[in-house]
Structure 1
């Protein structure tokens, strides 16, 4: 049995556009587990607002780098780590772009390969470039001012990071786009499509 840890933000957690959380069976990690079969264990460790490595002054505990080692040891040994972070890095108050987000992802990859308390073998890593942000509306509009343009570069920088660090790679923007209800989060159909795309990437690599 392979243990797969999905380390992400609200797109992994299962946020409904403009508020709420999808039932478990509609979140892409759960759908992925169903596609892979019960011989695998897919863990949804998404958290709304999580960044790659930035401390958010308005949300506590969202620095992804600070919690990754604890997550890997909590659920370890982990065979495959799926990283889909960076959307929240583009919030206006961080004042960074897709390049900086990709460097944050690279730090997460490095952290996952460091020695740990229990001598777990380092996991394989799948880097997912997040979906492009559409025109943000509703409750997320102010936070993501200017993020739509920045997100267009996710795939380029993330692919470079994945290749350089010998990781699997998926460009989510080539598979799904956010709901027009808020321009950031995924509808239920996109969750299914993303799970299908991830399954296709990893089925021969776990």
Structure 2
């Protein structure tokens, strides 16, 4: 019987392409999105559930996109909607770097720590019969393109984030992957991944999972 991965994240897990017009909704097809490619590469041993929401933060209500973007709420919903799972991947933090949240890199990591605390709680570990966690730090924001104003100052924060995430993962006893060592955000909007990035990330995550 195949094991199950729950891929939890934001627009880059959802499959949003680099934006040229912020008012236009778009999504890559399943043949491009990294969670789908991950599942295909790990068949028949693993299957992947995609749980990506554009604008999702690690732990904060968004004043523009809505309170349901708070990753704490979404994680509880995902863990109670699906299961049992064997592995949870979390890739969040990009939206937390938006200027209006006023967070530093360690503040973003603190939000991620809250998600790990939820996922590692007795409630959810017991519900799923125990599962492992892979924390994925997203690549740095580039601060360019049509949504750059939202991410003013985000580059420095997100460049510093992998170190905090690695230490957090070690402290919480979960697995870690620095996506920025394998892919980069698209120069089109400085945040989202192009198809080559999705493929490279899927390959990197697959290799990490095979070595768990």
User: Is the Cα–Cα contact under 8 Å of residues 169 and 176 in structure 2 kept in the other structure?
Assistant: yes
Gaps in structure 1 of 5+ consecutive residues:
none
Correspondence list, 1:109-120, <5 A: 109-116=116-123, 119-120=127-128
Relative to the length of structure 1, the TM-score reads 0.95
1:52 pairs with 2:58:
yes
Deviation at 1:69, TM superposition (A): 1.9
CA distance in 2, matches of 1:119, 1:192: 32
Q: Point out the more displaced range, 148-157 or 118-127.
A: 118-127
1:28 pairs with 2:34:
yes
Which has more helix, going by share of residues? 2
1:79 pairs with 2:96:
no
1:126 pairs with 2:127:
no
SS for the counterpart of 2:150 is: coil
User: Is the Cα–Cα contact under 8 Å of residues 8 and 83 in structure 1 kept in the other structure?
Assistant: yes
Correspondence list, 1:187-202, <5 A: 187-202=194-209
Question: Alignment RMSD, CA only?
Answer: 1.3
- CA deviation map 1:151-178 (0-9, x unaligned): 1111100000001111111001111001
Relative to the length of structure 2, the TM-score reads 0.92
Correspondence list, 1:45-194, <5 A: 45-60=51-66, 61-116=68-123, 119-138=127-146, 140-194=147-201
Gaps in structure 2 of 5+ consecutive residues:
none
Structure 1 moving runs of 4+ over 4 Å:
none
Q: Point out the more displaced range, 13-22 or 49-58.
A: 13-22
CA distance in 2, matches of 1:68, 1:142: 28
Q: Which residue of 2 aligns with 1:14?
A: 15
- CA deviation map 1:106-144 (0-9, x unaligned): 111110122337732232000011101113211x11111
User: Is the Cα–Cα contact under 8 Å of residues 86 and 98 in structure 1 kept in the other structure?
Assistant: no
SS for the counterpart of 1:162 is: helix
Deviation at 1:23, TM superposition (A): 0.7
SS for the counterpart of 2:64 is: coil
SS for the counterpart of 1:26 is: coil
User: Is the Cα–Cα contact under 8 Å of residues 84 and 127 in structure 2 kept in the other structure?
Assistant: no
Deviation at 1:25, TM superposition (A): 1.2
